[in-house]
Each structure stands twice: as C-alpha cells, then as structure tokens.
Structure 1
Amino acid sequence: MPVFAPPALLFFCNAILVISLFTRMPTIQEGLGVDKAMLGLGILGSPLGTIIALPIAGRIADRLTPRFAAPLMLSIAACFPPLLSILPYAGFFICFVLFGFFRAIHDVAANMISTGIERQTGLKILARSHGFWSIGLLVGSLVSGFLAERGVSPFVHQTGAMAAVIGICVLVWRLLPADVGIVQETQRRSVFVLPDRIILLICIMIFGVCVCEGAIYDWGIFYLREVIRVDAQTAGILFAVFTIGMGLTRMVGDKLRGMTGPSTLVRGSAISVAVGILVLLIAHEPIAAGLAFFLIGCGVALGFPLAVATTVERGRGNVSDNLAALAMTLLIANFGVPPALGFIAEHSSLKMSFAVLLPFVALSFIMAPVAKGQLPLFLRRAVSRSHGDNAGAAPNSPQGGVRE
C-alpha cells in the first residue's frame, strides 16, 4: 500500500463527514425552523469548538501520538452529525461545538502524520493527502445529491457516514507505524499555544483563499438552489465540480511545489478564485455556475497545504504547536464569517455574500511573498523606513525578514 494511503484516508473521511452534513443543511434548516442568519449563528458552533481545542491540540496529539490521536478524534467527531440532524436549535449548536472541537485535534494530528512521512521518506505527499479531502468532497456530494433526491432523511444519511468513517479510522490506526509524525521536543513548551509573527503573516497570506473555501462549503448549496435555481441532485453535481477542480489541483500540487515558487502558487490561487467568483456572480445557467465552482475549487486547493508547508519550513519551535497556532489563527480570523455571510444573504442577497469576498482574495494576492519568506513590497518599504533597508529580506538570510 502506498506510503501516503493512511493520511489520504484520514483526509477523505474528514471530508465525507463535512460534506455529508453541509449538503443536507437546507433540509436540516427546514427542520429547525430558522432563517439563514440564525443558521449561520448555529454553524458558528464549529469554529468556536475549534478555537477551544486548538490551544491544547498540539499537546494532545503529542501525548496520544499522531497515529492514535488522528483516527480516535475523527471517530468521536463522526458521532455528532446524526445528532445535529434531529436535535432542536440549542442541541444543534452544542453538537457543532463538539464537532469542531474533536475535528480540530484530528486536523493537527493528520497534518503531523503527512509532514512526518515527508520528513521520514523524502517524498512530497502533503498536497496529495489534502487531495483526498477533495475526493471525499466529490464522493460525498454525489452521494448526498443522490440520497436527497430520493428522500433519504438527513439522520439516516449522517448515520451511514458515521459508520463508514469509524470503520476506516480503525483501518488507518492499524496501518500507520507507531512513530509516524512524532517530533522530539527541542525546547520548553507553554501550556497554551499562541501564534508568533510568522504564523500571523502566513494566515494573512491565505485568509482570502480560505474564507472563499469556507463560503462554498457553508453557502454554496444555497446559492445553487436559490440563485441558479437547480434541483437538489443537480446542485450536488455542480458542487462536485468544485471538488473536482480542488482535487485535480491538489493531486498535481506536490509536483507544482517542486516546479514553481510558492509565492507564484499563492498568486495563481488568488487569481483563479477571483475569476471564479466573478463568473459566479454573473451566472444564470448551471453550466456557467459549474465553471465558476471549478475555478474556485482550483484556486482554493493549495491554500492550506501551502500554509502548512510554509509553517513547517519556516516556523520556530515544535511542529505540532506551530500547526495548532496556524489553524487557531485562521479559525479566529474566520470566526465571524458564517454568520456575517448569512446576515448579508438574509438582508441583501446571496450574490452580495460572495461579492464581499473579492477584497479578501486581493489581500492573499498581495501577501504572496510571505510564502517564500519575504514581506510584500509595501510592508518592506514601511519596515525599511522604520528599521533600516534590510528589513523584509528572506528569512534564511542574516538580515532577518519574516523569520525575525
């Protein structure tokens, strides 16, 4: 079995859980009897749970070992989507908090496994591992559209997904070597992990790309159903086009990382997302919407893998703490996005919800030099005026730069 199969299966299962839940959200919303603004506030439980978990996620992953922590935490998280589909609003919110909590620890452990395999084997597998998240989204969205069209209840759907994920997690635990992803501690660690300047700059760099990915997950199905006016099965197929674009890009992402500079990849990602959003805003037919979803999928594909790779390469201290700090900062930055987009959709339009994302995509384009250890030009000039002409140089040079 290929060396990247276990982490690939973890990312695949994680995606199955997420997409199985969010593609059935319109039906769940009807059962809850709430509007989009209230639904957005309920969904906010997931990032809240993540923020609670991430300050201690690295320590938990190290204590349990990534091999045990990743499948265990994902198996626990899999138990909450069936409950989310049948509980009243208060229970919906609480389950989303717990869902986000356990998935956050899993995400840190899974990325430790992927980067650990890269260190141990010398093979680049990080983008491909994340590519199986996209494959999971594709499979899950197609299955969700099929089940929704045939009237299968969200509870039965989520229960089936839970059983499949737990079974695969047991297989992953048996396949992984005991020492995978374990890094010897080189310095004393604080109880709670906080981001340093390097992590903050990386998060700013990919924020625009990541927030667009989240917008598609949270509101993409609603956009297809209410703006493009397609049925549930067609919406599932069009959502699958988004995951195809993401998956194809991630499958060649490791090769692109070796051929092209990381800052170029960030800029290309931002351009693809921006063009995709513009096409989506003017789309009236399913084909045009599908093209837009494909371009957005291609654009968001390498955002988080590039952030992880940059964090591992340029971060200081423990890998698990750096990855947890990265995820925590991104989640805090995205904390208000689901309810904000829901509020805009409820009081303006879904089109406006996606239009407001374009300035954030432009920010990712501008901050692209951070991926290669440099500050963008306008920040370099500002720092140079304050601290001298060498500020903003590459982080591995004696002048400092992003690494400090």
Structure 2
Amino acid sequence: MTTSDAAQNARSAQRWTIGVLAVFALLGAGFGSWLSRLPAVRDHLGASTLEMSVFGLTLALGSLTGLIFSGRTVTRLGPQLTLAIGIIGQAIAMPTAAALFWAHLPVAAAAFLALFGIMFATSDVAMNVSGAAAERALGKPRMPLFHAAYSLGSVSSMGLGALAEALKIPVPLHLSVLFVILAIGVLLALRVVPNVAHSGDAEQLPPTSVHTGPIQIVPQPAAPAESTGPAPRAYTPWRDPRILIIGLIAMSMSLAEGTASDWLPLALTDGRGFANETAALLLGAFFISMTATRVAGSWLLTRFGRVVVLRGGALLVILGVVLTILVPDTWASIAGAVLWGIGCAFGFPVGVSAAADNPRTAVRDVAAVSAIAYTAYLLGPMLIGFLGEHFGLLQAFWPIVVFAIIAFIFAGTAREPAATGADAR
C-alpha cells in the first residue's frame, strides 16, 4: 500500500467515524423524544400507571424481538442499508403511534410502538456493528464516544420535548416533524458509512441470527491475524464462552445504568426524603457523569486498556451503589450518583468493541452481546422494581453490586487481542 493509499484510507475511516457518531446522536434523539412526551400522552389518554407500563412493555418486547433477529438482518443487508431502512421505519412508526394515541386508539398505537421497538433495536445493533468496524479501521477506540453522542442526543431531545410541552405543541405534530428531520439527518450521515461489516472486508458473511442454530462458515484465504487457523464449521455466539462472558459484563453495567435511570430518583425521594426536584437533579448528575466519562473514554482506553477501565468502572459502581444504600447523608447520595454514573459508562461500549475483535464473526457477536445487554437494560429494572416493592428500593439495589463484582472478576475476558501481560492488571 502506498503512502497516498494509506492517507486516503485514514480519511475514509475518519469520515466513517464522524458519520457513525452522527447516527448515534440522531437515534438517541429519536428515542429521547418519545420519553420526553410520555407525561403528555398519559394526560391525553387519562391512562393509569399500569396502562402506561403496558405501553412501555410493548415497546420493550418489540425491541427484544428486533434484537433476536438483528444478526441475520445486519448480515444480509449490511449495516448501512439496515440503518437506512430502520430510520425510515422509525419515522413512520413513532408518529403513527402518537397519532393513534391522540385518536384514542391505544391498542393500534401499541402495535406501532412495538414496530418502532423492532426498528430501533435493529438499527441499534447495526450502528454498533458499523461503529466497531469504524473503530477498527481508525485504529483507535471510539465506541465510548459514540455512546456519549447517543446520550447527548437523548438529553437534547428531552429539552426539546420540554419546550414543545411549554408551547402546547401536540405530540403527533412534534414527533412527526422531529422524525422527518432525524430521518433526513441519518440518511445524509450514511453517505459516508460503508455497507460492510468491517474495514477492508469484501466477503459476504453468511446469513445468521443471534438465536438460530449453527451457521456454516466457509474459510477465507486472507483471515486477519487474530482469527488465524481454520474457521469453525458451525459457529454460533451462544456457544462461545468468551462472547457470553463479554455479554455478562455488558449486561452487568447495563443493569446498573437502567436501574439508575428508572429508580434512582424514586429511591431517593422514598428512602432519603429528598424533594422531587432534588432527586431529579441527582439523576442529572448521574447522566452528566456517565456522558462525560464516555467522552473521555478514547483517551482512557488508549492509556490504560480495556481490562483496567472495566475493573475500575466496576469498583466505582460498587462504591457508588453502596454509598447510596448505606449512608443517609446528602453528600453520600451525591457522591454515589456521580460514582455510579462514571462506573457504568464503559461496560456496554467496551463490550461491543470486544465482541467485534474477530471481524469474521463480528456481526453475530455484536448482536449477541447487544441482545444480552439490552435485555438487562429493558427488563432488569422491572425485576429491581419487584424487589423494591418487597424490600424497599434502596435495598433492591444490592443485586447491582453483585453483578458489578462479577464484571470485575471477568473483565480480563475483554482484553484486546494484541494485549500484553500489562493489560491484565
């Protein structure tokens, strides 16, 4: 390869990275816009908490369905085409659901919420696959930055939702305009995102799914260094111990993130007597800490490596949650929220990067890790809520400590392929 070719490849990788970064931010804005208008939907329908929970569960089940089939979808269509179809599907499904809610047709609206969940989850896996590939092409860790962009998109859309609420803009109009803008933005960003599973690979990967049986794999003549030797004849990520352990690490930190998002304010108001606005501010501190840490993630991963970052994060989650549970002082709740947010920042993005280490199986492996992590993110907080009903929400946080300990113990599994012994610290 000539110097000019190398420079051109570097520029392409940089454009690819910027394109994926934009996709993460825009998809985050789409999901956050729905969350921002949930109170307005509830008020318009006069729905009970149970009814709103059913709508949330419908979206979650749609998301899980999309995750189950995401490996096959992304492998067959490629990440770029999957994202293009996914954002168009979201731009149809979400405004339609909002319009049906406004027409007092909740069953039909719930069906479109499920469709949105399918499209969103499939798009999420596709952007993580493309992000991991862009990271490999660039030769630098970027996955935490991608997830920081997603968080910033979500927070920004919630601010827009609050503005729309203040201006009395109907939810269907707000979401229709927003999703048209988001769809245009994603489609423009995809112009610099190649429709391949990983950099420099022109092979057509065999169709696969994260849940179907063994997939026959044809050995390739130019396998990367980290996948030398004959390819397995029947590969599925669900029988790969490394992928399952990486999924467990990502699941542990996703459970910590999802639980804080859903239950931290209520736990502080009920268990510590905080005012609603104070508890909301502490949740904001959690999100700001997590997002800022992800922005700094590239430097931290380059400096210390995955293993140290994951183990340090697990320790911070443990410390933050224990402070929140055991120490009733205000300073402890503030410190707990901040440490909790910093600690869980890397589990999912680093898990995705680690799952994509083998380019030949990256699509299936990323889909499997995503399915495990998102299952914990979507359903785990429901189990925490069940425990909270019986033992109190603060005491219900103890399982997070247990899973953080597990993540600490197994963090070495996510070590970079070219890591030296120093990385195992």
Fold match, TM over 0.5? Answer: yes
Give the secondary structure class of the aligned counterpart of 1:44: helix
Counterpart CA distance in 2 for 1:343 and 1:84 is: 29
Among 218, 236, 243, the residue aligned to 1:199: 243
Q: Is the 8 A contact 1:37 1:339 kept in 2?
A: no
Q: Counterpart of 1:259?
A: 303
Give the superposition deviation at 1:259: 1.5
- In structure 2, the CA distance between the partners of 1:336 and 1:138, relative to structure 1 (3 Å rule), is closer
Q: Counterpart of 1:126?
A: 143
Counterpart CA distance in 2 for 1:249 and 1:368 is: 18
Counterpart CA distance in 1 for 2:36 and 2:399 is: 23
Give the secondary structure class of the aligned counterpart of 2:135: helix
Q: Is the 8 A contact 1:75 1:165 kept in 2?
A: no
In structure 1, the gaps of 5 or more residues are 374-393, 398-404
Q: In the TM superposition, what are the counterparts of 1:4-403 in structure 2 within 5 Å?
A: 4-31=17-44, 36=49, 39-85=52-98, 86=101, 90-91=107-108, 93-148=110-165, 154-177=171-194, 181=198, 183-185=201-203, 188-190=206-208, 192=212, 195-196=238-239, 197-220=241-264, 228-231=274-277, 238-281=282-325, 291-313=335-357, 315=358, 317-333=360-376, 336-345=379-388, 349-372=392-415
Larger radius of gyration: 2
Counterpart CA distance in 2 for 1:320 and 1:370 is: 19
TM (normalized to structure 1)? 0.77
Give the superposition deviation at 1:35: 5.3
Q: Is the 8 A contact 1:47 1:331 kept in 2?
A: no
Give the superposition deviation at 1:10: 0.9
Matched letter for residue 302 of structure 2? G
Counterpart CA distance in 2 for 1:171 and 1:68 is: 13
Counterpart CA distance in 2 for 1:70 and 1:206 is: 23
Matched letter for residue 357 of structure 1? I
Matched letter for residue 254 of structure 1? S
Q: Deviations over 1:271-323 (max 9, x none)?
A: 222333344445686x875554433322221111110111112x584211111
Aligned residues: 373
Give the secondary structure class of the aligned counterpart of 2:274: coil
Q: Counterpart of 1:390?
A: none
- In structure 2, the CA distance between the partners of 1:186 and 1:91, relative to structure 1 (3 Å rule), is closer
Q: Is the 8 A contact 2:248 2:372 kept in 1?
A: no
Give the secondary structure class of the aligned counterpart of 1:318: helix
Give the superposition deviation at 1:110: 0.9
TM (normalized to structure 2)? 0.73
Counterpart CA distance in 1 for 2:398 and 2:291 is: 25
Q: Is the 8 A contact 2:32 2:154 kept in 1?
A: yes
Q: Is the 8 A contact 2:132 2:143 kept in 1?
A: yes
In structure 2, the gaps of 5 or more residues are 1-10, 213-235, 421-425
